[in-house]
């Protein structure tokens, strides 16, 4: 069976058991406690916790998953992946252990037709019930059931949240595959007993302090690794030899010229390149972009690891794009998103590879210096911290450091390197913080359960509504009543307030009942289906059950509306001018301005920006109708509606159309006709990351204000310049030219004045075995003073000069210079400057024949020269 056939047979088998077939959710989870979607159950977390009701109690999916915590293992085995597909079946308080076990057995033996004699079953150490089910209900021989500890057989998606004991199915690949040791059994690290299916009996919610609270209902979460099952079905011992992955690896072989199966080191590199190419393709297609933090960093690490393994196999040129093409060809049928974003993935990968090439070169220089330092210090071991820094900063492979160090006759301190790596791993793990099921989430969860449905949002059409208070949350706990002066969150059964979502800020306004006035400062969506109003009760009291009047700040919402529709029009104009690769990667719409982040590979020039702005404004003036309506995601896609990059959508979506040129999925609030925007003005454009640009713009009154301010600036400048506004630029250019001419004329004049005054300064000359002048001169900079000193010495026919000047800029300069005769008679310019410089609060230096200093204290010039005289004995 090919991977695609297994996928289909699994999903239809469980449809036959009454499960709803649902699509995979995005690799970017809807859950702040997780960096990436790591299992099929992630999209169902709120359902397991009883916080959401899907309207059915059985589901089956094929989920895209990413796991990179132990990235170093990936490639060294045939069964670990950074990206893989998990086939799952789920029960939300419906079927439990008996059915989960029986169906897993039925699918394994009847559909996959696996050899019963090769199957093993693990259970949690004290789960007698599971043992009895396997043995008595399913008919598994007792000696095929093994008990294991919490590490293997107690499953949770993270430190907190739904979890429970589990039972795993293993397939024995035969003694020739494994480690060969006598006690090799399921759970051994080797490849012999392949764990292919995990059945989790999800019955607890783990709190932050580790306590387990029984969930409202008992659930089932099972996960079967598609790649592992494909390996079993295709009779190969490594996932990388299964149909889909083998095809990608073949491409890696062609690019690198290496052959799989000859040498373990080469095989590891080929597996890494193959595995990582899939992860990179899927991560970027789901909206992850390379960066130095969070999931962007995970992506960057994977991508770099693939590139460096290409290097290890001798590929110097960018090559990942070719593999991406393979991934898209082989997996595009099941995952249309990789086809849709193919071009974008290619471009991002190409530019990352190029950047990494440069870092790799810098790393080599850094390593070269470290090697030289170690050797010149007589050492034979390269510092482990150095190796770690190379790895961390330059993405430099440890093995490469070892290899290059060895060529120079050095070893690398691996112990220290390992310690640093372990510390970094801990930091990375700690960075994945967990706050999704915190008190805050739980309190709103309770409210959600109480209202048993969704809050109705009426704000597309209405600015105010009568509503009932259905929940009040203060400091993470639900309360019945709010007294005057108190702050908290209020949930209404229906509301015109828009909760911050899709980049549009939440509404502000007032919730009132008699003298009770609750000012809403922000509106949020703490969990899907719930809208909460954060604010303060200015007077009176409010209680759950009260009938209130909720009214938004209409003028503020108007401004938000204009900015939001303008964002869509700009998006359209950007694609028109810069190209179809432009995707929105984020936006932020407030009453004052809009921010729009998009993928693009260089800074747009002034001409492009002006075309974008003109196009957008033309569309605004054309007064297009703006329509929004609901439809199914499938229909929307067929209509060619732009879905936002990296955004997740439900089955029913809202489409926003401006005229017939812009169609986007969007739940925000918008103007009725484009001309209400008035005008859009781009006020800044810049880079916010690799291949990511940001523009900020203002509309309507904001744009007008912007134009007024600019106009006032020009008018003011024109008044100062005594010209008409249209002449400002010409006038300033003329002034700048004249200023430059005047400055050089002034410098010339100073030089001339200096030489005509020479005679005056010569009058102060003394003879101490050589002619010497010590003097100050008004208003010269260093260059002018140097010319003056040279001229004076020329006039004297040799000798020495010590001169100082306080110049216009407020600084003081000091020069001492003497000829050979003076120096051999004891004149030491450097010593003089050393002595004198502190008096002008300055620093400087030089040689016995010539030294200079600059300082800040003009008032100290007299003292500085006096110290020089003292040193020369001419006081
Ligand atoms: N959540 C479990 C796992 O990932 C079973 O799906 O193994």
The per-residue pLDDT for 433 is: 39
Question: pLDDT band at residue 644, thresholds of 50, 70 and 90?
Answer: low
* Least confident window among 445-459, 614-628, 749-763, 774-788: 749-763
Nearest-angstrom CA–CA distance, 573 and 183: 67
Nearest-angstrom CA–CA distance, 460 and 458: 6
Return the residue whose CA atom lies nearest to atom 4 of ligand 1.
39
Question: pLDDT band at residue 569, thresholds of 50, 70 and 90?
Answer: very high
* Neighbouring-strand partners of residue 630: 654
Report how far ligand 1's centroid is from the alpha carbon of 248 (Å). 26
What is the average pLDDT across 839-844? Answer: 91
What is the average pLDDT across 41-48? Answer: 90
Contact 691, 600 (CB under 8 A): yes
Contact 258, 270 (CB under 8 A): yes
Sequence-distant (≥ 6) Cβ neighbours of residue 728 within 8 angstroms: 714, 717, 718, 721
Nearest-angstrom CA–CA distance, 552 and 164: 45
Tokens of 781: 């900079």
* Neighbouring-strand partners of residue 543: 481
* Average pLDDT over the chain, rounded to an integer: 90
Q: CA 292, 427, 225: angle at the middle one, nearest 5? A: 80
Atom of ligand 1 lying closest to residue 88 CA? 6
Three-state secondary structure call for residue 454: coil
The per-residue pLDDT for 754 is: 61
User: In this structure, how many other beta carbons lie within 10 angstroms of the beta carbon of residue 332?
Assistant: 15
Give the model confidence (pLDDT) of 83-133 as tens digits: 999 999 999 999 999 999 999 999 999 999 999 999 999 999 999 999 999
Atom of ligand 1 lying closest to residue 41 CA? 1
Tell me which of 186 and 72 has the higher pLDDT. Answer: 186
Pocket test for ligand 1, best of 67, 86, 154 (most atoms within 8 A of CB): 86
Pocket test for ligand 1, best of 80, 124, 155, 161 (most atoms within 8 A of CB): 155
- Residue 858 confidence (pLDDT) above 50: yes
- Residue 753 confidence (pLDDT) above 70: no
Does ligand 1 lie within 6 Å of residue 223's CB atom? yes
Give the model confidence (pLDDT) of 657-694 as tens digits: 999 999 998 989 999 999 999 999 999 999 887 788 99
Sequence-distant (≥ 6) Cβ neighbours of residue 499 within 8 angstroms: 457, 506, 507, 523, 524, 525, 531, 532
Give the model confidence (pLDDT) of 493-524 as tens digits: 999 999 998 889 999 999 999 999 999 999 99
The per-residue pLDDT for 438 is: 44
Atom of ligand 1 lying closest to residue 157 CA? 1
Contact 488, 474 (CB under 8 A): yes
Return the residue whose CA atom lies nearest to atom 3 of ligand 1.
223
Q: What is the DSSP letter of 287?
A: T
What is the average pLDDT across 709-714? Answer: 94
Atom of ligand 1 lying closest to residue 86 CA? 6
Give the model confidence (pLDDT) of 770-779 as tens digits: 999 999 998 8
Report how far ligand 1's centroid is from the alpha carbon of 163 (Å). 10
What is the average pLDDT across 18-43? Answer: 89
Sequence-distant (≥ 6) Cβ neighbours of residue 318 within 8 angstroms: 307, 349, 350, 353, 354, 357
Q: What is the DSSP letter of 603?
A: -
Sequence-distant (≥ 6) Cβ neighbours of residue 712 within 8 angstroms: none
Q: Give the orientation angle of helix 243-256 with respect to helix 226-233, to 10 degrees.
A: 90
Give the model confidence (pLDDT) of 232-271 as tens digits: 999 998 999 999 899 999 999 999 999 999 999 999 999 9
Atom of ligand 1 lying closest to residue 200 CA? 5
Pocket test for ligand 1, best of 101, 158, 222 (most atoms within 8 A of CB): 222
Give the model confidence (pLDDT) of 354-375 as tens digits: 888 877 778 888 888 889 989 9
- Residue 464 confidence (pLDDT) above 90: yes
What is the average pLDDT across 626-650? Answer: 77
- Residue 647 confidence (pLDDT) above 80: no
What is the bridge-based pairing of β-strands 516-524 and 532-539?
antiparallel
Pocket test for ligand 1, best of 40, 122, 154 (most atoms within 8 A of CB): 40
Nearest-angstrom CA–CA distance, 199 and 99: 11
Does ligand 1 lie within 6 Å of residue 197's CB atom? no
Q: Compute CA distances 27 → 63, 288, 373, whole Å.
A: 9, 9, 45
Side-chain half-sphere CA neighbours of 540 within 13 A: 13
Give the model confidence (pLDDT) of 580-617 as tens digits: 888 888 899 999 999 999 988 889 999 999 999 999 99
The per-residue pLDDT for 295 is: 85
Tokens of 515: 């003298």
Does ligand 1 lie within 6 Å of residue 198's CB atom? yes
SS (H, E, C) 236-260: CCCHHHCHHHHHHHHHHHHHHCCCC
- Model-wide pTM > 0.85: no
End-to-end Cα spacing for the chain: 105
């Amino acid at each position: 069976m090919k991977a695609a056939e297994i996928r289909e047979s699994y999903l239809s088998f469980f449809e036959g058991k009454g499960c709803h077939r649902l699509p995979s959710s995005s690799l970017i989870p809807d859950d702040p406690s997780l960096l990436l979607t790591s299992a099929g159950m992630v999209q169902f977390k709120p359902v397991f916790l009883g916080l959401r009701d899907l309207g059915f109690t059985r589901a089956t999916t094929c989920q895209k998953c990413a796991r990179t915590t132990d990235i170093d293992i990936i490639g060294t085995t045939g069964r670990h992946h950074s990206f893989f597909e998990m086939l799952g079946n789920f029960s939300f308080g419906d079927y439990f252990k008996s059915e989960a076990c029986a169906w897993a057995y039925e699918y394994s033996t009847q559909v996959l037709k696996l050899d019963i004699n090769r199957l093993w079953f693990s259970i949690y150490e004290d789960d007698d019930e599971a043992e009895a089910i396997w043995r008595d209900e399913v008919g598994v021989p007792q000696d095929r059931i093994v008990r294991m500890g919490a590490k293997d057989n107690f499953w949770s998606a993270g430190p907190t949240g739904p979890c429970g004991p589990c039972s795993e199915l293993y397939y024995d690949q035969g003694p020739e595959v494994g480690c060969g040791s006598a006690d090799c059994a399921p759970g051994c690290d080797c490849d012999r007993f392949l764990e292919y299916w995990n059945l989790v009996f999800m019955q607890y919610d783990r709190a932050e302090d580790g306590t387990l609270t029984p969930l409202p209902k008992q659930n089932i979460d099972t996960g079967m690794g598609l790649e592992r099952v494909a390996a079993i079905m295709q009779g190969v011992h490594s996932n990388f030899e299964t149909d889909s992955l083998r095809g990608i690896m073949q491409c890696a072989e062609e690019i690198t010229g290496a052959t799989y199966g000859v040498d373990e080191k080469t095989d590891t590199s080929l597996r890494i390149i193959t595995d990582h190419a899939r992860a990179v393709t899927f991560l970027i297609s789901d909206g992850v972009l390379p960066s130095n933090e969070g999931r962007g960093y995970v992506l960057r690490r994977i991508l770099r690891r693939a590139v460096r393994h290409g290097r290890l196999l001798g590929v110097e040129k960018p090559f990942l794009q070719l593999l991406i093409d393979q991934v898209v060809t082989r997996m595009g049928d099941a995952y249309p998103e990789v086809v849709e974003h193919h071009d974008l993935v290619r471009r991002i990968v190409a530019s990352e590879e190029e950047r990494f090439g440069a870092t790799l070169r810098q790393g080599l220089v850094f390593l070269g210096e470290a090697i030289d330092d170690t050797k010149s210090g007589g050492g034979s071991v390269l510092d482990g911290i150095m190796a770690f820094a190379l790895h961390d900063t330059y993405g430099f492979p440890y093995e490469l450091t070892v290899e290059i160090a060895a060529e120079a006759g050095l070893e690398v301190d691996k112990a220290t390197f390992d310690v640093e790596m372990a510390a970094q791993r801990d930091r990375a793990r700690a960075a994945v913080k967990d706050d999704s099921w915190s008190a805050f989430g739980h309190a709103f969860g309770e409210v959600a359960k109480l209202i048993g449905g969704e809050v109705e949002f009426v704000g597309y059409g209405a600015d105010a509504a009568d509503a009932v208070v259905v929940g009040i949350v203060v400091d993470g706990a639900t309360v019945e009543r709010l007294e005057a002066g108190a702050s908290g969150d209020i949930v209404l059964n229906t509301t015109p307030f828009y909760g911050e979502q899709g980049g549009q800020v939440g509404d502000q306004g007032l919730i009132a009942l008699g003298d009770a006035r609750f000012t809403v400062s922000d509106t949020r969506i703490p969990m899907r289906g719930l809208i909460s109003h954060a604010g303060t009760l200015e007077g009176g009291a409010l209680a759950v059950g009260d009938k209130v009047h909720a009214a938004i700040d209409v003028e503020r919402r108007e401004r938000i509306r204009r900015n939001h529709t303008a964002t869509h029009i700009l998006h359209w104009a950007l694609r028109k001018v810069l190209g179809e690769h432009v995707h929105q990667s984020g936006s932020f719409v407030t009453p004052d301005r809009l921010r729009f982040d998009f993928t693009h590979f260089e800074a747009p020039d002034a001409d492009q920006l002006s075309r974008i702005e003109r196009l957008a404004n033309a569309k605004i003036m054309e007064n297009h109708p703006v329509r929004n309506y609901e439809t199914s995601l499938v229909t929307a896609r067929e209509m060619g509606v732009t879905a936002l990059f990296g955004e997740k959508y439900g089955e029913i979506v809202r489409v926003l159309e401006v005229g017939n040129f812009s169609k986007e999925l969007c739940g925000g609030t918008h103007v009725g006709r484009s001309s209400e925007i008035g005008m859009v003005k781009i006020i800044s454009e810049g880079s916010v990351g690799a291949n990511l640009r940001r523009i900020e713009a203002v509309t309507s009154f904001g744009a007008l204000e912007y134009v007024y301010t600019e106009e006032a600036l020009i008018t003011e400048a024109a008044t100062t310049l005594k010209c008409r506004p249209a002449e400002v630029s010409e006038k300033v250019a003329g002034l700048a030219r004249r200023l430059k001419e005047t400055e050089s004329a002034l410098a010339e004049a100073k030089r001339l004045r200096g030489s005509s005054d020479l005679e005056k300064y010569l009058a102060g000359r003394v003879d101490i075995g050589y002619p010497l002048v010590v003097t100050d001169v008004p208003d010269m900079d260093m260059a002018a003073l140097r010319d003056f000193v040279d001229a004076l010495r020329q006039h004297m026919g040799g000798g020495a000069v010590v001169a100082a000047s306080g110049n216009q800029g407020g600084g003081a300069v000091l020069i001492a210079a003497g000829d050979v005769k003076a120096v051999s008679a004891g004149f030491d310019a450097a010593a003089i400057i050393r002595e004198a410089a502190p008096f002008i609060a300055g620093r400087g230096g030089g040689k016995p024949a010539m030294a200079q200093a600059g300082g800040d204290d003009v008032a100290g010039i007299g003292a500085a020269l006096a110290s020089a005289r003292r040193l020369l004995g001419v006081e």
